[in-house]
Copies of this chain bind each other. A is one copy, B any other.
Amino acid sequence: MRKTFLLLLAAMFVTNSYAEEKWTSLFNGKNLRGWKVMNGKAEFKVINGVIVGTTKRNTPNTFLATTKNYGDFILELEFMVDNGLNSGIQFRSNSLKTYRNGTVHGYQFEIDPSDRAWTGGIYDEQRRGWLYDMENNPSAKTAYKPAEWNKVRIEAIGNNIRTYVNGIPCADIVDETTASGFIALQVHGIGSNGKEGQNVRFRNIRIMTEDLLVNSWNTPDKVIPQLNCMDNKLTEREEADGWKLLFDGKTSTGWRGAKMATFPTKGWIIEDGVLKISKSDGRESANAGDIVTVDKYSEFELVVDFLITEGANSGIKYYVDCDLNKGEGSAIGCEYQILDDEKHPDAKLGVKGNRTLASLYDLIPAIQNKPFKGVGTWNRARIVAKGNKIEHWLNGVLCVSYERNTQMWRALVAYSKYKNWPNFGEMEYGNILLQDHGDEVWFKNIKIKDLKNQ
């Protein structure tokens, strides 16, 4: 059923092309003119009109790269890969002496014949890692056909990159990191013990660089999830969908101190598109103090990327009433806990882990196997509040769900450290808060969608 639907869609895209398609071949079928080998020592040969790459031990990834650079383009080719061999197609990629001593880096169309089946995903080689793995679009995991020629299409047009495998839309990102670079075919490194002599084959490589918009297959909205890889910027789709940035990457607009009318003059720093709370003495809201949104929110979807330094403690609070706590300490509200569970002692306190990362602080522990990417790395917190139902997500995984304004909620609060705050977590509107807990924590990509009137 789903397959039929996808094939139908693919057919629609094909018939959608109405301008003349001006293709240029990148491979003459005879030799590797216009290509050069980079980084590793695996071999590329032309055999019967096919470029054949062969694995070799004790050499890193090897790339057969175009000598020319390409910015906006539509690229098509076919590949066939031996089972067990990972490969990929670089695009808008570069090799710079100033960056990791010439290592090829940039966008890679993933070729992954393993059970994971992420073929068609987009990996940022030697840079940010996965931009779009196929768990984002699992129905397209079956697009790749093992031990057959598979047809690849990559559309890189402006800040939008889309991939297709055998006509099935696979990945879709919006990113602005690199506008131009070479195209390169990968033979993956196999270390010192991998199987030598495995092959990946490429043929019928052609590129279009004109009339791209009219020839784009234009994956429609909602057919596959589009991921925004830009910092502090909304995609057109996000804007149309009602998302608003809570942090513009440059100024403190929209924020104030939790216990003051203006933004704190110390402790909170904005640099390189990142909002940072500086290290002080580890106490709660005792130095720079918490900051809150100027606006209040009722039902919402909130996304915050955060990066914690070793041993750090912070948090994202919602349904905050800044007027409640007149004394010392943080303003009162429901808290998505941000913590280095390994190094901060609070992770061991509380009850059954209800003070660990992504937990509803002091109330509900996050699930066991949280997909935390680690200290010093960006992680994505997501909080969904619809009606009285609340969810805490971490890096795409649901970690906590609960329902406030219920007897269970009040019974649970009555046991917690919030027991004496009247109406805790039950207000209709509250501020969003970022916590100063005296540790250095970074924030970016803070955005919110109002669900109240949807």
Contact = CB atoms under 8 A, between A and B. Distances in A.
A192 interface: no
A412 B406 CA distance: 13
Interface of A: 351-352, 354, 363-365, 400-403, 406-412, 414-416, 419
Nearest to A403: B408
18 contacts: A351-B414, A351-B415, A351-B419, A352-B411, A352-B414, A352-B419, A354-B414, A364-B411, A365-B411, A365-B414, A401-B406, A402-B406, A403-B403, A403-B408, A408-B408, A408-B412, A412-B415, A415-B416
A414 B360 CA distance: 14
A61 to B, nearest CB: 43
A364 to B, nearest CB: 4
Chain A at the B interface: SS class: mixed
A393 to B, nearest CB: 13
Contacts of A354: 411, 414
B351 A407 contact: no
Contacts of A407: 364-365, 400-402
Contact of A408 (B352, B364, B414, B419): B364
A351 B347 CA distance: 25
A407 B419 CA distance: 19
Nearest to A400: B407
A409 B365 CA distance: 11
A421 to B, nearest CB: 13
Contacts of A419: 351-352
A281 to B, nearest CB: 31
A411 B412 contact: yes
Contacts of A363: 411
A323 to B, nearest CB: 24
Nearest to A415: B415
Nearest to A411: B364
A402 B410 CA distance: 11
